[in-house]
């Protein structure tokens, strides 16, 4: 089962990375058309915002799994070990609550705005722009549950894949 989470993690990283690359190409195009050609394109800004939301929410899920998220431990690092574990458990339970909240209300936002279109992209429903919220929260929830069940992924063995499945396992 952890191998499935490895694949989901890689998916989050690739989608986030691709979103950043595409956004890095779109923004200069918008600047070029506005200031060099004198006829600004209307689509680069809303597409760049959609890509930014995508890499933010999926990237946050990936960073949570990797243990690379922001964690202020100034107070908890000074607590005795049992209290540190209790605080960590509380944090994970809060993360479950936040993920469920954003999944539920983000899904309602997506469904509630599917009948509206973007002014600059009349072919795109507004709901699609909000879709990264519940998706990213769902991925984060999966990674939180993985952490609670199997422990931190960044402290387990790393499984690499080739086209036929798992290729090698390395201890971290």
13-62 pLDDT, tens per residue?
999 999 999 999 999 998 898 888 888 788 888 899 999 999 999 999 99
CA 89 to the chain's CA centroid: 22
Residue 101 CA neighbour count, 13 Å, CB half: 6
Segment 101-129, tens digit of pLDDT: 999 999 999 999 999 998 888 888 999 99
| Separation between Cα atoms, residue 37 and residue 40, nearest integer Å | 8
Is the C-alpha dihedral spanning 142, 144, 150, 156 positive or negative?
positive
pLDDT attached to residue 69: 78
Q: Which two tokens stand for residue 136?
A: 């990213």
* Widest pairwise Cα distance in the chain: 64
Name 93's Cβ contacts closer than 8 Å, sequence gap at least 6: none
E strands of the chain, at which residues? 158-162, 165-170
Identify the three-state secondary structure at position 52: helix
Q: What is the pLDDT of residue 136?
A: 96
- Specify the pairing of strand 158-162 against strand 165-170: antiparallel
φ/ψ of 133, rounded to 5, equals: -65, -60
Percent of the residues in the chain that have a pLDDT greater than 70, as a whole number: 90
Other beta carbons within 10 angstroms of residue 25's beta carbon come to 11
**Dihedral over alpha carbons 23, 21, 24, 154 (to 10 degrees):** 90
């Amino acid at each position: 089962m952890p191998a499935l989470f490895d694949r989901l993690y890689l998916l989050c990283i690739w989608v986030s990375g691709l979103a950043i690359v595409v956004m890095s190409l779109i923004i200069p195009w918008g600047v070029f058309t506005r200031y060099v050609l004198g006829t600004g394109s209307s689509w680069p800004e809303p597409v760049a915002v959609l890509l930014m939301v995508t890499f933010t929410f999926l990237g946050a899920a990936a960073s949570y799994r990797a243990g690379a998220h922001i964690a202020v431990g100034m107070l908890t690092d000074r607590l005795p070990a049992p209290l540190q574990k209790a605080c960590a458990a509380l944090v994970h339970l809060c993360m479950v609550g936040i993920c469920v909240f954003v999944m539920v209300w983000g899904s309602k936002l997506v469904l509630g705005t599917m009948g509206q279109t973007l002014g600059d992209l009349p072919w795109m429903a507004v709901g699609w722009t909000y879709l990264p919220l519940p998706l990213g929260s769902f991925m984060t929830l999966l990674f939180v549950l993985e952490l609670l069940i199997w422990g931190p992924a960044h402290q387990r063995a790393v499984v690499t894949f080739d086209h036929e499945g798992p290729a090698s396992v390395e201890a971290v």
